[in-house]
Chains A and B, each alone.
Chain A
Amino acid sequence: MKKIYFLNFCFLVLAKLGFAQQNTTVPISVNFQQVTIGQFVTELEAKTGYHFYYNSIQFDSLKISVEVNNKPIETVLDIAFKNTDFHYAITAQRQIFLTRGREIQTKLPAGFFGNKPGVALPVTNQPITVTTNATVADFTDEKEKKVPEATTENKLYEIGTRTNTIQPGKATLSGYVRDGKSGESVVGASIYVTNTKTGVATDQFGYFTIVLPKGRQILSIRGIGMRDTRRQIVLYADGKLIIEMQEQITSLKEVKISAEKVANVRNVQLGVNRLDIKSIKQVPTVFGEADVLRVVLTLPGVQSVGEATTGFNVRGGSADQNLILLNDATIYNPSHFFGFFSAFNPDIVKDIELYKSSIPEKFGGRLSSVLDITDREGNKKKFAGSAGIGLITSRLNVEGPIIKDKTSFIFGGRITYSDWLLKLLPEEYKHSQASFYDLNFDISHQIDDKNNLYLTSYLSHDKFKLNSDTAYSYSNRNINIKWKHNFNDKLFSLITTGVDRYQYNIASFDNPVNAYKLNFDINQTNLKADFTYYLNRKNTVDFGVSSIYYKLHPGNLQPNDVKSLVAPDVAPAQQALESAAYVGDKYDITDDLSLSAGIRYSLYNYFGPQTVYNYAPNLPKTSSNFLDSTTYSKNKVIKTYSGPEFRLSARYNLGDNTSVKAGYNTLRQYIHLLSNTTAIAPTDVWQLSDPNIKPQYGDQVSLGLYRNFKENTIETSVEVYYKRLRDYLDYRSGANLVLNHHIENDVLGTQGKAYGIEFLIKKTTGKANGWISYTYSRTFLRQDNANEGELINGGAYYPANFDKPHDFNFIGNYRFSHRFSVSLNVTYSTGRPITLPIAKYEYGGSERVFYSDRNTYRIPDYFRSDFSMNIEGNHKVHQRTHNSFTLGVYNLTGRQNAYSAYFTQQAGVISGFKLSIFAKPIPFINYNIRF
């Protein structure tokens, strides 16, 4: 910046000099028709002997037409630059400076600019050239001009067909922000217009659309891991702009929780947290594996039943009420190793977004939250890769262009070699095997300016075998194709189709007579079309339709040995179609008040072939109340559920840095995970809603206060919520959930309520950064309907398994230098509820215990702190490889947190035990190499 001012200053001085010492010059004759500045200058230099100085970038869009005979050079230049904001200055040294600097303008004679009265110009400090004559020179670009690629800060880009007069009113600027080095789109970059104080963030493909007053505007652009930059534009009419940003080379980037520094205040949505992979990687985790889901657990309002468990609970919802999307593909099991690691490769993931309250209307099908995980796009300019070695896994990823600047791929793979861990175990476990891997392969292709195609695929696989007795394996398989099409600057569409699958199988072969294999799988085929229409500056309309076809095989038991007597048992396949149509409008009523209102109508059809049991009305659905059964043929609609879902939120600004928001939303869920264990297991089965299993329904009201301090570098928020759940599934005593042909006999519809208050303070920049969150929340369930079956705790409300009232998290990172930083992570929460015995007796040759009402007591509170150091190799940009180390300690204080507490009989006597995992400080080291 300083250099520019200095240059301008020089021009200014020289210009003054020039005006003062102007001499009469030799008349010349020229005839220019639509020539570039280069041709123009070369010819004039040849004819006059003057030397021209100018910045060619500033003039590159200028086309000059002048025809004169025997006129001085001043006249030629006057005509050439008439009605433009280009200026010239001639010095006595026969130098001509061509400029378009604003400083010079102020020195020019008054009246040079005819400011048109009555035109509502944008509030701007810069004068804007407005002339009345629009016919003299035609400087318009070619009709089919290329979308300008805005790469530099100091150039003025023209948007729309150039006119000499800037018409009053507004125009739509749409475009695309990409990384200048890799060509990848920059997701969530904020484009903020200083003049109008409006802003927009790029979507998941790097696209944005903003409506602005016509005229000259300065766009401030900020993106995660990108150097802040700005672009100067003159907006004549609707148009497009590609913005290239430069990567921040400093490898120890600031923690940026939110892409948009003011987003938390300005956004209409409540309860949204976005994290990029850089901040995820800074958080120390067990064994040093950067773990997306572990970091999600540190966000306010997110809890789990215990460390190293699959799944998380958002605002009192159960783990199956989270929609986990990886590039829009539904991931049914997000964990490896039964919950020890999350199944997402940190080298491929770009960022995550968690919606806890304002769930956009385009999402549906789960009650509690949407966790949207996005992969990076491959590098479009050159081949690159990285590899990492940790205690448990090795990682490799490769990316690069297939067609330069158009098509790129990214491949990521992780594989475990944890068998060494098993070898350390006592004899009885030594022959166990455990392994997992996951693969990501994505392609993105730009067909043309208006069309993009994306292919994303994911495969994860886990295998575990215990002493050649029983083998388990489970796998996620996802593939989808997205087509993004821009109809025009205002209407965008995204069409997605794909297939998601989750499967597991169990095989037992030790006892030949009982040897069996059991398979489960769930498949969904998705098709959805999402549209965004920028109606005008105040309204952005989203609408679309989606459809999911489910095919679920709840269990297939087969003998696994010729001697096996296991009777084949196949629970009949379930099939259903879940469709939805939605429309939502984000309406900026005033600059301070915005409303986002959406409605989603979901329609669920459960199809044959199926035999459905009918039960006596108003009696528990048990075998004793069984009346008869109805058999439905293929594709016959057995049951339809439908209903509207409302998504409302509003924001009111209380000044520049403060806002209040309120929201209300309702959701429906047609698919249920059957799990009567405390934590979900990979071998739990999913169940579709059918005539006997009602869909779950939930609604939530929330209210939030947001305030940023110190120029938006410190973000604070307080949110309160109250939530109700209906027809949540609980289980009868001794329920059998696997291969149960009539699951309604073993489940109970339960009601739930949850409420809480969440505090969050984030510091996003500076040497010290991180966040502190505290949540007070309660979650209660109740089964008080005798028609459903047994009452739990006499029909009173009881705390859910993950009801942990106090939850505190501190995530901090301090950067000592660009090559060395330390991270500290502190977690405290109330112990989760458990059911404890209250009496004992003797039975079956042993002491036994009699349990209290459900979840009346709690395990001890949880506290853990982790520490890590990140050491980077040297920071030369141009070197073959970049290295980095992470080492640290998990559970620094070695506190033996209760993972579970239980009472069990050993040798006929009941005793209580507390089990702790990770009960000691666990050191870890990770080595990463980038090439």
Chain B
Amino acid sequence: MNKSKYIWYLFVVIGVVISCKKPYNPAIVSSDNHYLVVEGVINSGNDSTIINLSRTVKLSESVSTQLMTNYTVVVEAEQGNSYTLQSEGNGTYDIGPMHLDASKKYRLHITTPEGKQYVSDYVEVKQTPSIDSIGFIPKSNYLQIYANTHDATNNTRYYRWDYSETWRFHTKFQSSFIVDGGAVRIRRADESIYYCYASDKSSNIVLGSSEKLTQDVIFQTPINTIASNSEKMELRYSILLKQYALTKDGYQFWENMKKNTEQLGSIFDAQPTQLQGNIHNVSDLTEPVIGYVSVTNVQSKRIYINKGQLPNDWIEKYPYDCGMADSAFFSHPKTGYNDVLYYIIQGGGIPIDAIYGPFGLLGYTYSSQGCADCTIRGKVKKPAFWIDN
């Protein structure tokens, strides 16, 4: 149904031979205003509610956001209870499970240190059905990860997902030695920097709707794609998918934001439009406030994908150019320099293997951090949730 997307593809198809895309940085246009940005979902279920507050920044600024602390954030029921969130710093406010009454409406009430009041509209509690399954299909040069869900009562209709990915990977070279106290010694198992875990969060808005279907069924809705040569699938990959039910208004907000920030470029795409969230400054309704607060019980599901489940010819591309490991000798055969001292102990090269000659240890092979140290891109410690196969 997304016509513009396909027309855009067509456009690429015809234009690709001769078209070109270049960075474009028009003369700095900026607004001095810093508008409030409210992100988060009021969790009506058995999990904590996290709200992030920030303000917009100028395009030219190097930081991409300005976090707001010291605000007061309260979840208010239309009649009755209110729940005050606790500031965790960095613009994050949270509260444990609230188990909200699904028959009531709730809103978010934000007060700035200067006393400005922002409230969201009262929003109904939308029940999120559980995720039926997460699957994946290898395509020609990428892996398509999809999700299935349904609501037998046909009440949900509008869905949003976000996810966090975690994967285990290893470096190009396995270092068996370590520099310790100005000398090279054998690396202990608990000092290994060969295997690591890395993670990432979704940055695209993923939406789905069964509005036009006879049943509230979401079948193989695309969640994420991973390039076939991605390091993410080198060993074992895991995705934790969170599913949020949305009201129709909420869906439109997210869809609008997606159109405004992810689907532009073609003149067949809709022009940028105003984002209309459900949060307002109480005393100035014209002040733009970015964000849409919805209330739902978030559902989540995790799956793992092993290398063995993917096509054999998918070969990961190592993100660094490593080549062969270099050699460092205690005494270079020609120059006589102590390369071990120079390149490994002082130079930061990671020793990999020992080099033995007829008369014993001559030196070590070594490589750069990028090729031998996984901790620059991940963590050695296995995440708490991780289950090995």
Contacts and interface: CB of A to CB of B under 8 A. Distances in A.
Contact of B270 (A308, A676, A909, A920): A676
Interface string A558-584: 000000011101000000000000000
Interface string B194-212: 0000000111110000101
B25 A429 contact: no
B267 A422 contact: no
Contacts of B24: 898, 901, 912-914
A249 interface: no
B20 A896 contact: yes
A86 interface: no
Contacts of B13: 422, 425, 429, 432, 434, 466
B274 interface: yes
A917 B264 contact: no
A427 B228 CA distance: 14
A567 B4 contact: no
B376 interface: no
A245 interface: no
Contact of B22 (A835, A916, A922): A916
Contacts of B39: 842-844
B292 to A, nearest CB: 10
A566 B214 contact: yes
Given A734-B273, A905-B262, A917-B18, A850 B288 contact: yes
A733 B212 contact: no
Contact of A912 (B23, B217, B269): B23
Interface stretch (B28-36, B43-51, B100-108): B28-36
Interface string A728-761: 0000011000110000000000000000000000
B265 A915 contact: yes
B214 A306 contact: no
Contacts of B19: 899, 915-919
B10 A464 contact: yes
A858 B271 CA distance: 14
Nearest to B276: A733
A839 B220 contact: no
B256 A733 contact: yes
Nearest to B148: A513
A569 B203 CA distance: 33
Interface string B111-132: 0000000000000000000000
Contact of A913 (B33, B261, B265): B265
A337 B64 CA distance: 40
B226 interface: no
Interface in B143-180: 162
Contact of A838 (B16, B31, B214): B31
Given A677-B4, A677-B268, A845 B162 contact: yes
Interface stretch (B53-61, B323-331, B337-345): B53-61
B217 A565 contact: yes
B267 A678 contact: yes
B270 A677 contact: yes
Interface in B307-365: none
Nearest to B255: A734
Interface in B233-266: 252, 254-257, 259-266
A567 B352 CA distance: 62
A541 B182 CA distance: 107
Nearest to A792: B274
Nearest to A504: B3
Interface residues of B, number: 82
A539 to B, nearest CB: 48
Contacts of A898: 24
Nearest to B66: A841
Nearest to A467: B9
A247 B3 CA distance: 49
A10 B167 CA distance: 108
Interface string A409-423: 000000000000110
B4 A845 contact: no
Nearest to B248: A623
Interface hub of B10, B30, B39, B202 (most chain A Cβ within 10 A)? B10
Contact of B6 (A472, A912, A922): A472
Given A681-B7, A850-B35, A843 B30 contact: no
A117 interface: no
A899 B267 contact: yes
B183 interface: no
Contacts of B10: 338, 432, 434, 464, 466, 472
A844 B203 contact: yes
A124 interface: no
A733 B34 CA distance: 22
Contacts of A472: 6-7, 10
Contacts of A835: 271-272
A852 interface: yes
A836 B29 contact: yes
Interface in A302-318: 305-306, 308-309
A846 interface: yes
Contact of B267 (A305, A838, A848): A305
Contacts of A306: 267
B70 to A, nearest CB: 19
B217 A513 contact: yes
Nearest to A842: B65
Contact of A337 (B4, B14, B35, B141): B14
Interface in A891-931: 896, 898-905, 907-920, 922
A804 B10 CA distance: 27
Interface core residue of A429, A835, A842 (most chain B CB under 10 Å): A842
A557 interface: yes
Interface in B285-306: 288, 290-291
Contacts of A464: 10
Interface in A478-520: 506, 508, 511-514, 516, 518
B215 interface: yes
A838 B29 CA distance: 6
Interface string A663-690: 0000000000000111101010000000
A549 interface: no
Max count, chain B CB within 10 A of own CB: residue among A464, A514, A913, A920? A514
Given A566-B214, A896-B20, A844 B162 contact: yes
B207 to A, nearest CB: 10
Contacts of A904: 261-265
B22 A900 contact: no
B219 A900 contact: no
A516 B59 contact: no
B85 interface: no
A734 B263 CA distance: 13
Given A734-B252, A844-B205, A914 B23 contact: yes
A896 B254 CA distance: 34
A262 B141 CA distance: 65
Top 10 A-B pairs, shortest CB-CB distance: A513-B219, A914-B24, A733-B273, A678-B267, A839-B56, A908-B203, A902-B264, A846-B203, A838-B31, A565-B213
Given A565-B213, A914-B24, 15 more contacts: A425-B13, A425-B16, A472-B10, A516-B1, A676-B271, A681-B3, A739-B212, A801-B271, A841-B56, A844-B39, A896-B20, A905-B262, A912-B26, A913-B24, A915-B22
21 contacts: A421-B17, A422-B13, A432-B10, A466-B10, A565-B214, A677-B4, A677-B269, A837-B272, A840-B65, A841-B64, A849-B260, A850-B31, A850-B288, A854-B272, A899-B19, A901-B26, A903-B264, A909-B64, A912-B24, A915-B20, A915-B266
Interface of A: 305-306, 308-309, 337-338, 340, 421-422, 424-429, 432, 434, 464, 466, 469-470, 472, 506, 508, 511-514, 516, 518, 557, 565-567, 569, 676-679, 681, 683, 733-734, 738-739, 790, 801, 835-852, 854, 856-857, 896, 898-905, 907-920, 922
Interface of B: 1, 3-4, 6-7, 9-26, 29-31, 33-35, 37, 39, 54-59, 61, 64-65, 140-141, 162, 201-205, 210, 212-215, 217, 219-220, 252, 254-257, 259-276, 288, 290-291
